[in-house]
Chains A and B, each alone.
Chain A
Amino acid sequence: MLDFSAIQVHTFYLAQEAAATDTAGGINIYSFANQLVNGIGIVGVLLLTGLGLAITFGVMRIINLAHGEFIMLGAYVTFLMQSMFQMDLLLTIPFAFLGTALIGAVTELTVIRRLYGRPLETLLATWGLSIVIQGVVKLIFSAQLKYVKSPPYITGNLSLITGADGTQLVAISYYRLFIIAIALLMLGVTLYLLYQTPLGRQVRAVAQNREMAKCLGVNTSLIDLLTFAYGCGLAGIAGAVISSLKSVSPPMGQDYLVDAWMVVVTGGVDKLIGVLAGAFLIGESGSAIAYILNDPVARVIVLAAVIVLIRYRPEGLFTVQKRA
């Protein structure tokens, strides 16, 4: 009667396919290196998905459980643009950003705004929202998997170590490099916006002391709106970039949501750099353990590590200790 037919088999993204190659002969140093290098791709995905969360959670203290759905919406925008206008994936990125940012803004106005200062309610509301968005997308596009073409000029592998007979021993695909490049670029843009522009100064002021910022004439509700929309836009970019890695489907976002949250919890949200460190730690340790054991076990071990970490460093690894 209860129909949860779509149990999501979470995979640690690309780790599995990399782990599947050549593990027969015990621990091969080259395939292990390969796994680590390919872990970079996972780091890129985690960084991209975690960045938007770090903005909405770190700056505004909003628990956004619909973040995965904004990633999914970004992927669908890319799919739409490609199927309607035969657009290149790179060109669809701005549209994915704008589209999801717009939906994010509407969400903020209709739902989030009403629940400020009540984190558990926000969490529940965004979770309901994520179910609704999934349902609506499923109604419009059907549950069928959609496929997005990756740009033809970003294919092939960059060979890092080549064997004597010319085979690639350690190689990384250009698309993974592209993902990490986009992720770092977005991190840079976000840092610039936050620390070098007047708008960013206002955002930080609101984050530090909402009442005081309001007294000094900052339009806090507008800042909230823009910040949330920007965070959602980042999720949209993540969705656009990820869309060609796997198929695009309504429940795809949930795969990324939990991992993105793990990144944010690990790195802490005080400094955006923590997200980078968190993504790196989780991505690389995940793929290393997945190589030695297997993928689901790696997930459980990483999760257990995060739980232990919370016990001893509740504010995340990369947060400066503050006096209480």
Chain B
Amino acid sequence: MTQVLDGVQRSTVPVKLLTTAGIIFLIFFILPFLVGQFQTALISKLLLFGALAISLDLVWGFTGILSFAHGVFFTLGGYAMAYYLKLNLSSARNTYGVDLPDFMVWNGLEQLPWFIAPLKFFPIAILAMVLVPAAFAYIIGWFIFRSKVSGVYITIITLAISSALTTLFISQQAYTGGTNGITDVATLTLLGIDFTDINLYWVILIFTTLVLVGSWWLTRSNLGLILRSINENERRISYLGYDVASFKIFIWTLSAAIAGIAGGLFVPLNKFISPVYLAVAFGTQVVIWVAIGGRGTLVGPLVAALLLGQVQNSAERVTQDWQLIVGVLLLVVVLFLPQGLMGLVPKRFSVNKLLQLPTPNPSAGYIQARFFDWVTPLQGAVGTLQGWFSRRGRKR
């Protein structure tokens, strides 16, 4: 781990990027005054999803670890916050007029379980929101990154984790509220300020900005360079004397912690948390934001989460088959646009240019070439099949 800390160095900040970012931040800052309450809530939610997508981009886009379990980290943080808000619900607002949360009462629990009770206190809840997902990720990471298995195993393990935990949370109704999750939570109130609507929006906006800027700074540092090298040639970087596994565990744990905080902020906004966000479907959604936005671009996943969320919001009024559209989009992106939507942005305006990262160049010609790549083997395959059958015929 000492190596990891050494790798984080100060990097220079380009002015051009700062101005652009500042203007965009200002636009988002005044946005809630221009749109209605519904849109403010929706954008808050999408900003959180964007932060979640950025956390996945850190491990996937930069380090090459594809995870379907980021929904899990998100939800773990969410449950920590949900317990805090639920336990601080005044007795009067509780359905049964007791301190015990309603779902525990109707599942026959007499008193608060010892592992949930401390979450009544805000500092402990905040710590749990960050540390539970991080510790969970660390344990998994320690086991899978220390062994010499290829990346795909890790992805499959994350799939399994997501599906197993969904079942577990649904089955432990007395502790987790089952399929409904934890609903009807209190408003988040700190120092006399109610965090609802616009206050919450600003907290979320600041959080997402911090995540974006922090991730950008991290990936621009020497640490980021090492992470990108791991993605490109893991063996070589380990021959250079770096302990690859500890870098992977570090970024994996950090990413889970970010996801956990995003989940924690999601609960006061959404007013409930449930196993829906643990399920593979949500984990896939996060992967899709990153894939469509463009891996390793940080801004791409955020933009994709914001755009797709808006599109989905309007599309769901028209069609029931949003998932099908998402599947087709994913296929198209993987086959034709490996750089995602950010790859379509002309090079002159691209964030990578502003970031001064080397870009492989997916111009229009590139996409055309990829399309021909795709068609040619089809013709080839027909040819081989014909050849094979005619040879068969001749033998007889």
Could you tell me if B284 and A131 are in contact, using CB atoms closer than 8 angstroms?
yes
Could you tell me if A7 and B275 are in contact, using CB atoms closer than 8 angstroms?
yes
Choose, from A25-33, A70-78, A218-226, A270-278, the stretch at the interface: A218-226
Cβ of A8: which chain B residues have Cβ within 8 Å of it?
Answer: 163, 166, 279
Cβ of B329: which chain A residues have Cβ within 8 Å of it?
Answer: 128
A1-26 contact mask (Cβ, 8 Å, vs B): 1 or 0: 11110111111000000000000000
Could you tell me the distance between the alpha carbons of A225 and B374 in the complex, rounded to whole angstroms?
16
Cβ of A113: which chain B residues have Cβ within 8 Å of it?
Answer: 377, 381
CB < 8 Å neighbour of A10 from B155, B163, B312: B163
Q: How distant is B68 from chain A, measured CB to nearest CB, in Å?
A: 8
At the interface, yes or no: B330 with Cβ under 8 Å from chain A?
yes
A139 and B334 in contact, given A221-B381, A303-B164, A314-B149 (Cβ under 8 angstroms):
no
At the interface, yes or no: A307 with Cβ under 8 Å from chain B?
yes
Choose, from B95-103, B254-262, B316-324, B352-360, the stretch at the interface: B316-324
At the interface, yes or no: A153 with Cβ under 8 Å from chain B?
no
A7 and B327 in contact, given A109-B378, A297-B168, A306-B160 (Cβ under 8 angstroms):
no
Could you tell me the distance between the alpha carbons of A206 and B322 in the complex, rounded to whole angstroms?
40
Cβ of A136: which chain B residues have Cβ within 8 Å of it?
Answer: 324
Chain A: interface secondary structure?
Answer: helix
Could you tell me if A222 and B384 are in contact, using CB atoms closer than 8 angstroms?
yes
Cβ of A306: which chain B residues have Cβ within 8 Å of it?
Answer: 157, 160
Find the residue from B167, B285, B321, B324 having the highest chain A CB count within 10 A.
Answer: B167
Count of A interface residues, CB-CB < 8 Å: 59
Contacts A120-B64, A139-B321, A258-B163 aside, 5 further interface pairs with beta carbons under 8 A come to A111-B335, A121-B334, A128-B327, A130-B327, A295-B167
Could you tell me if A124 and B334 are in contact, using CB atoms closer than 8 angstroms?
yes
Cβ of B334: which chain A residues have Cβ within 8 Å of it?
Answer: 115, 121, 124-125, 128
Could you tell me if B150 and A7 are in contact, using CB atoms closer than 8 angstroms?
no
Could you tell me if A125 and B149 are in contact, using CB atoms closer than 8 angstroms?
no
At the interface, yes or no: B107 with Cβ under 8 Å from chain A?
no
Could you tell me the distance between the alpha carbons of A139 and B324 in the complex, rounded to whole angstroms?
9
At the interface, yes or no: A135 with Cβ under 8 Å from chain B?
yes
Could you tell me the distance between the alpha carbons of A6 and B312 in the complex, rounded to whole angstroms?
17
Could you tell me if A2 and B285 are in contact, using CB atoms closer than 8 angstroms?
yes
Minimal Cβ-Cβ distance residue in A for B149: A314
CB < 8 Å neighbour of A123 from B66, B146, B285: B66
Interface residues of B (CB under 8 A from A): 42, 45, 64, 66, 140, 143-144, 146-153, 155-157, 159-161, 163-168, 170-172, 179, 275-276, 279-282, 284-285, 287, 291, 309, 312-313, 316, 321-324, 326-331, 334-335, 338, 373-374, 377-378, 380-381, 384-385, 388
A312 and B147 in contact, given A135-B324, A307-B157 (Cβ under 8 angstroms):
yes
Cβ of B167: which chain A residues have Cβ within 8 Å of it?
Answer: 9-11, 295-296, 299-300
A269-311 contact mask (Cβ, 8 Å, vs B): 1 or 0: 0000000000000000000000000111101100100111011
At the interface, yes or no: A262 with Cβ under 8 Å from chain B?
yes
Could you tell me if B324 and A265 are in contact, using CB atoms closer than 8 angstroms?
no
Chain A-chain B contacts (Cβ-Cβ < 8 Å), number: 176
Could you tell me if A7 and B377 are in contact, using CB atoms closer than 8 angstroms?
no
Interface residues of A (CB under 8 A from B): 1-4, 6-11, 63, 65, 109-111, 113-115, 119-121, 123-125, 127-132, 134-136, 138-139, 219, 221-222, 225, 254, 257-258, 261-262, 265, 294-297, 299-300, 303, 306-308, 310-312, 314
Could you tell me the distance between the alpha carbons of A294 and B330 in the complex, rounded to whole angstroms?
37
8 residue pairs of the A-B complex, CB under 8 angstroms, read A1-B45, A2-B312, A7-B170, A120-B155, A134-B324, A258-B159, A296-B168, A303-B160
CB < 8 Å neighbour of A300 from B144, B168, B327, B381: B168
Could you tell me the distance between the alpha carbons of A310 and B140 in the complex, rounded to whole angstroms?
11
Could you tell me if B279 and A7 are in contact, using CB atoms closer than 8 angstroms?
yes
Could you tell me the distance between the alpha carbons of A129 and B276 in the complex, rounded to whole angstroms?
22
CB < 8 Å neighbour of A1 from B42, B280, B388: B42
Could you tell me if B151 and A120 are in contact, using CB atoms closer than 8 angstroms?
yes
Cβ of B373: which chain A residues have Cβ within 8 Å of it?
Answer: 114
Could you tell me the distance between the alpha carbons of A294 and B168 in the complex, rounded to whole angstroms?
10
Could you tell me if A63 and B388 are in contact, using CB atoms closer than 8 angstroms?
no
Could you tell me if A3 and B322 are in contact, using CB atoms closer than 8 angstroms?
yes
Could you tell me if A135 and B321 are in contact, using CB atoms closer than 8 angstroms?
yes
Could you tell me if B64 and A114 are in contact, using CB atoms closer than 8 angstroms?
no
Q: How distant is B246 from chain A, measured CB to nearest CB, in Å?
A: 15
Q: How distant is B75 from chain A, measured CB to nearest CB, in Å?
A: 12
Q: How distant is A138 from chain B, measured CB to nearest CB, in Å?
A: 7
A261 and B156 in contact, given A113-B381, A127-B330, A131-B327 (Cβ under 8 angstroms):
yes
Cβ of B385: which chain A residues have Cβ within 8 Å of it?
Answer: 222
Cβ of A219: which chain B residues have Cβ within 8 Å of it?
Answer: 384, 388
Could you tell me the distance between the alpha carbons of A132 and B329 in the complex, rounded to whole angstroms?
10
Could you tell me the distance between the alpha carbons of A8 and B327 in the complex, rounded to whole angstroms?
18
Could you tell me if B327 and A132 are in contact, using CB atoms closer than 8 angstroms?
yes
Cβ of A312: which chain B residues have Cβ within 8 Å of it?
Answer: 147
Cβ of B327: which chain A residues have Cβ within 8 Å of it?
Answer: 128-132, 134-135
Q: How distant is A324 from chain B, measured CB to nearest CB, in Å?
A: 9
Q: How distant is A300 from chain B, measured CB to nearest CB, in Å?
A: 5
Q: How distant is A35 from chain B, measured CB to nearest CB, in Å?
A: 18
